[in-house]
Chain A
Amino acid sequence: MRPGLPLAHGIGGVRDLPVPAWLFFYSATIVLVASFIALAVLWRRPVLERTSAGRELPDGLQRVLLSTWLRVLLGAASTAIFVVVAVAALVGDDHVLQNIAPTLVWVVFWVGLVPCVVLLGNLWAVLSPFRAIADGVAWTAGRLGIHWQPEAYPDRLGRWPAVFLLLAFVSMELAYENPSDPRVLALAIYLYAAITWLGMFVFGRRAWLEGGEAFNVYFGLLGRISPFGIVEGRIVVRPPLSGLTRLEVVPGTLAFVAVMLGSVGFDSVSRTSFWLDLEVRLGGEAARTAVAFAGLVGTIVAVALAYLGAVAAARAMTGHTGELAAAFVGSLVPIALVYVLAHYFSLLILQGQYLVPLVSDPFGRGWDLLGTAGFRPNLAVLTPNVVWYAQVAALVAGHVAGLALAHDRAVGLFERRGYATRSQYAMLALMVLYTVGGLRLLSTS
Chain B
Amino acid sequence: MLVTVLVAAGLALLVGLFFVFRSGSDDDKTTTVQATTDEVGTSEPEIERTLEVTVRDAKPVGGLQHLTVDKGDEVVVRVEADVGDEVHIHGYDLVQDVVPGEPVEIHFEANIAGRFEIELEDAGTPIAELEVR
Contact = CB atoms under 8 A, between A and B. Distances in A.
Contacts of B117: 8, 13, 15, 276
B90 A23 contact: no
B129 to A, nearest CB: 6
B25 interface: yes
Interface string A418-445: 0000000000000000000000000001
Interface in A281-303: 281, 283, 285, 288
A376 B54 CA distance: 33
A221 B7 CA distance: 31
A41 interface: yes
A29 interface: yes
Contacts, number: 115
Given A6-B91, A280-B60, A285 B124 contact: yes
Contacts of B114: 14-17, 346, 384
Interface stretch (B11-19, B39-47, B74-82): B11-19
B14 A384 contact: no
Contacts of B96: 1
B59 interface: yes
Contacts of A288: 124
The dominant DSSP class at the B interface is mixed
Contacts of B88: 4-5
Given A273-B129, A281-B63, A379 B91 contact: yes
B115 A15 contact: yes
Given A33-B10, A280-B63, A13 B91 contact: yes
Interface string A300-318: 0000000000000000000
Closest 9 CB pairs of A and B: A13-B90, A13-B91, A15-B115, A22-B25, A4-B95, A4-B88, A14-B114, A14-B91, A26-B21
Interface of A: 1-8, 13-17, 20-23, 25-26, 29-30, 33-34, 37, 40-41, 177-178, 271, 273, 276-277, 279-281, 283, 285, 288, 346, 379-380, 382-384, 445
